[in-house]
C-alpha cells in the first residue's frame, strides 16, 4: 500500500486549507491507497475521519503532530495527547507505552521545528520522515542520511496543507492496513520505504543513484 503519512485538515489545523473531502478526492486521483491526518496537537478529527473513510471507501488514518521541546514528532496510537509541551523522549515513551509509534517529522526543516541531530540522543523512534514534501530537498537528504546512519526506517509524506501539496511524497507500506493498528504494526516491522509522485505514478526513491548523479528513481513494486 502507498500511504501519505502526514497531512493536515483545516478543522483542527488552523494553517491548513484542506477538507477531508478535498483530501479523499485528490488522493484517489493520484493513486494513493490511504492517508494519515496528523493535525497539530490534536487527534479530535478521528471519529469524523473514520466516518468519511467508511463512506468513501478510502483509508483515512489519524495520528497527531506534536511539537516537543526538541522538535515535531508524529505519533500514532497515542489517544491521550500531552496537554502541554514536553520533551521528545517523554513523548516517545508515552507513545510506546500506549503501543504506538513515534516518527520524527521533517528533522532538518529550516523553521527549527525539526529534531535534527538531537535524534541521536533519544531512544525508541520507529521512523524518520526522511522525505517531506514541504521541506527543502537538501534537508530531506540530511534526514535520509541520518536514518541510514542510525538504521531507523525512512518514511515519506507530503505534510500537505494545500491541495497541490497532497501526495508529493508517501510511504510504501507492507501488507494491507485496514486501521491504525495495522499501520502501527507495519511501521514497527521496519519494512517501509519512501516513494515519490513522478510522471503520474508513484516510484521508489533510489538514493544511491541520486548521489552518483544517475537516474534518481525506479518504479515501486
Question: What are the pLDDT digits (tens) for 146-176?
Answer: 999 999 999 999 999 999 999 999 999 999 9
pLDDT at 6 over 90: yes
What is the average pLDDT across 10-34?
98
pLDDT in tens, 192-215: 999 999 999 999 986 655 555 444
Determine the angle formed by the axes of helices 20-30 and 46-56, rounding to 10 degrees. 50
Instruction: Provide the 3-class DSSP secondary structure of residue 131.
Output: strand
pLDDT at 135 over 80: yes
3-state helix, strand, coil in the chain (%, to 5): 30, 25, 40
CATH of 2-219, one of 3.10.290.10, 3.30.420.310, 3.40.50.12780, 3.20.20.140: 3.20.20.140
Integer Cα distance of 70 and 87 in angstroms: 6
Which residues have a Cβ under 8 Å from the Cβ of 134 and sit 6 or more positions away? Answer: 106, 109, 158, 159, 160, 161, 165
Of 23-32, 52-61, 131-140, 205-214, the range with the lowest mean pLDDT is: 205-214
pLDDT at residue 18, rounded to an integer: 98
pLDDT at residue 208, rounded to an integer: 55
pLDDT at residue 9, rounded to an integer: 98
pLDDT exceeding 70 applies to what percent of the chain? 93
C-alpha cell at 133: 514534501
Q: How far is CA 195 from CA 12, 53, 69, in A?
A: 27, 23, 29
pLDDT at 221 over 50: no
pLDDT in tens, 63-113: 999 999 999 999 999 999 999 999 999 999 999 999 999 999 999 998 889
pTM over 0.85: yes
C-alpha cell at 116: 535534527
Q: Are strands 127-132 and 201-205 parallel, antiparallel or unpaired?
A: unpaired
Tell me the average pLDDT of the chain.
Answer: 93
Amino acid at each position: 500500500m502507498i500511504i501519505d503519512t502526514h497531512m493536515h485538515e483545516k478543522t483542527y489545523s488552523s494553517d491548513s486549507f484542506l477538507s477531508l473531502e478535498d483530501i479523499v478526492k485528490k488522493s484517489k486521483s493520484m493513486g494513493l491507497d490511504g492517508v494519515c491526518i496528523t493535525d497539530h496537537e490534536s487527534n479530535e478529527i478521528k471519529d469524523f475521519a473514520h466516518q468519511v473513510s467508511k463512506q468513501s471507501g478510502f483509508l483515512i488514518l489519524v495520528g497527531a503532530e506534536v511539537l516537543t521541546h526538541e522538535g515535531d514528532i508524529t505519533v500514532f496510537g497515542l489517544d491521550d495527547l500531552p496537554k502541554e509541551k514536553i520533551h521528545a523522549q517523554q513523548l516517545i515513551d508515552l507513545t510506546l507505552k500506549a503501543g504506538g509509534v513515534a516518527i520524527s517529522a521533517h528533522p532538518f526543516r529550516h523553521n527549527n521545528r525539526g529534531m535534527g541531530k538531537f535524534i541521536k540522543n533519544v531512544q525508541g523512534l520507529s521512523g524518520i520522515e526522511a522525505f517531506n514534501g514541504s521541506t527543502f530537498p537538501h534537508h530531506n537528504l540530511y534526514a535520509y542520511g541520518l536514518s541510514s546512519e542510525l538504521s531507523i526506517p525512512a518514511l515519506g509524506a507530503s505534510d500537505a496543507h494545500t491541495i497541490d501539496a497532497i501526495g508529493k511524497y508517501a510511504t510504501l507500506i507492507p501488507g494491507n492496513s485496514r486501521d491504525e493498528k495495522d499501520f502501527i504494526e507495519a511501521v514497527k516491522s521496519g519494512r517501509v520505504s519512501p516513494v515519490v509522485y513522478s510522471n503520474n505514478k508513484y516510484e521508489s526513491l533510489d538514493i544511491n543513484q541520486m548521489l552518483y548523479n544517475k537516474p534518481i528513481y525506479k518504479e515501486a513494486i
